[in-house]
Chain A
Amino acid sequence: EAQVTQNPRYLITVTGKKLTVTCSQNMNHEYMSWYRQDPGLGLRQIYYSMNVEVTDKGDVPEGYKVSRKEKRNFPLILESPSPNQTSLYFCASSPHFQGNNSPLHFGNGTRLTVT
């Protein structure tokens, strides 16, 4: 089944403890992206990747890192999480970056709480 898989679904951690949220897609998509969803703010893009070894900042990259060593994986790294990073995170992928008719496929989300 074609899908975007994020892990974990839920995560509670403490300020300053490094964490990684994994994202994997099995559709051979070139483009992958991370969003955070907050009440009243909608979806905001954190980082995106157009292909292997190509990553770029989105609208809210501060406090996050990503890597794209292989096509299928796009982990989101929080080196020193803070409470303002408590949010619902979504990974998404699409076949191509430039194609206008390349819909995004979303994972089911990771709810992160930083205390």
Chain B
Amino acid sequence: GEDVEQSLFLSVREGDSSVINCTYTDSSSTYLYWYKQEPGAGLQLLTYIFSNMDMKQDQRLTVLLNKKDKHLSLRIADTQTGDSAIYFCAQKGDGGSQGNLIFGKGTKLSVKP
């Protein structure tokens, strides 16, 4: 079945860049997503990328997609303490999972001052 893998932890210093990586299995996904979960809150959509794109930039966020390797990354430039959260990569499942979103286990980003 489909699977989405990401490392569980990342620690960076304030002002540095953070790169969160994700690998996925379903090459038919047309959209791939990044969600952010702040402490005590639900997930919020951070950004997404369409599968015919290699890169998408939105202010401090850069998403890179390597379809050949099924690898997705999220780069946060000038990381701030407010960026500390859990980041989830997600893809649309195929018919076997009814087309619902398949989430990775989440990467906890800790930003040290």
Contact = CB atoms under 8 A, between A and B. Distances in A.
Interface residues of B, number: 23
Given A33-B100, A48-B100, A100-B31, A43 B42 contact: no
Contacts of A101: 31, 48
The bracket for how many chain A residues form the interface is 20 to 34
A108 B92 contact: no
Interface in B24-68: 30-31, 33, 35, 40-45, 48
Contacts of B44: 106
Interface of B: 8, 30-31, 33, 35, 40-45, 48, 88, 92, 97-101, 103-106
17 contacts: A4-B42, A33-B100, A40-B8, A42-B104, A42-B105, A42-B106, A43-B88, A43-B106, A103-B33, A104-B43, A104-B101, A105-B45, A106-B42, A106-B43, A106-B44, A108-B41, A109-B42
